[in-house]
Structure 1
Amino acid sequence: MIKIEMYGTAACPYCVRARRLLDKKGADYTDIRIDKDPSREAEMIQRSGRFTVPQIFIGERHIGGYDDMAELDMDEALDPLLRGEDLA
């Protein structure tokens, strides 16, 4: 099973949308809430190079934020990633 991690907060509308999309896809993911554990924010920044939420990782690949993930879905490229394909 592919490891999916999302850094986010409760109040961020893009985080809510990202969770909905992942839930709709039936993806099993780790929701890393930096509002509950602020120490994880530095980890997110180090891994992604970005300061905004959400930041989504599928496997070791940084997907980006919600808009990036939604674009992958529109291009029919998200489902293969969620299955662990095309992670090169």
Structure 2
Amino acid sequence: MYTTAVCPYCVAAKNFLKSRGATWREVRVDLDFEARRRMMDLTQRSSVPQIFIGERHVGGYDDLVALDRAGGLKPLLEGSA
């Protein structure tokens, strides 16, 4: 998950994933310019969070919640373990 220190949606995404029993690796793009460039190349987005589950780009916090509501998050989380 690509994040910054002062992003409320990043905190919300981490709390949401934690509530689903998920773990993640955090990449702080506010501290690492190359990581920000990599994130933008991969996602074509500049906003955070940008969430990946395995190799799949889920999107941001709203996308994560929508995926969960549609029933797609649990299978992704189970497959990435």
Do the structures match in fold with TM over 0.5? yes
Q: Find out whether 1:26 has 2:21 as its counterpart.
A: yes
User: Counterparts of 1:18 and 1:75 in 2: how far apart (Å)?
Assistant: 17
TM-score of the aligned structures, taking structure 1 as reference length: 0.84
User: Counterparts of 2:3 and 2:18 in 1: how far apart (Å)?
Assistant: 15
Q: Find out whether 1:37 has 2:47 as its counterpart.
A: no
Could you tell me which residue of structure 1 aligns to residue 9 of structure 2? 14
1:26, distance to aligned residue in structure 2 (A): 1.4
User: Counterparts of 2:5 and 2:71 in 1: how far apart (Å)?
Assistant: 28
Q: Which has the higher contact order (CA 8 A, sep 6+)?
A: 1
User: Counterparts of 2:78 and 2:64 in 1: how far apart (Å)?
Assistant: 15
Query: Which stretches in structure 1 are left out of the alignment for 5+ residues?
Result: 1-5
Q: How many residues align?
A: 80
SS of the aligned residue for 2:14 comes to helix
Could you tell me which residue of structure 2 aligns to residue 57 of structure 1? 52
Relative to its length, the structure with more strand (as a share) is: 1
